[in-house]
Amino acid sequence: KATFDLKNQKNSLRLKEHFKSIARKTTQTDAWCEDLVVRGKLPRWRLELNGTQVAVWSIDRNGFSFSRAAIDLLHEHGALKTVHLHDDVSWKGDVFAQLVKKADAGIRLGDDVRVIQGDRCIGLARATAAGWEWNGTPGTLAKSHQRKKKS
């Protein structure tokens, strides 16, 4: 007979497993969650890495709201779908069609995406159009969400 010892499990560990499950669905992987710690109180759970806030659970969006500190972590683990910008453009505002070199066709409205230029992840944006619309649709395709500081 198999026994499973789950008594006295910390709530933060249960929450972390819950958030990892959500991460697998929304960011395509949960590898970026491995070293995170869940802190805070309902409804604003914080996901932290070495004391730095990486994401907040947003009940308004029913998903993660990522901080600037999450950009490199998400890129390192290949989390989120990607949008590649032309190398010769300067990304100053939202993501517009004329800036985009290529984009993941599986992007859904409201998805967070990694913004790539050259071989670097330069920020995160939230899609305002589905991936199939990105080829040739004029106007805003994604709202700028987080951007790395220029070095």
pLDDT per position as a tens digit, 104-113: 999 999 999 9
CA 122, 126, 132, 136 torsion-angle sign: negative
d(CA 129, CA 139): 10
Domains in the chain with CATH codes: 11-75 (3.10.450.90), 80-147 (2.30.130.10)
Please determine, for residue 16, whether its predicted confidence score (pLDDT) is greater than 80: yes
pLDDT of residue 65: 95
pLDDT of residue 8: 54
| Tens-digit pLDDT profile for residues 53-79 | 999 999 888 899 999 999 999 999 999
pLDDT of residue 23: 96
Query: What are the φ and ψ backbone dihedral angles of 63, each rounded to 5 degrees?
Result: -170, -175
Is the full-model pTM beyond 0.75?
Answer: yes
More confident position, 8 or 125: 125
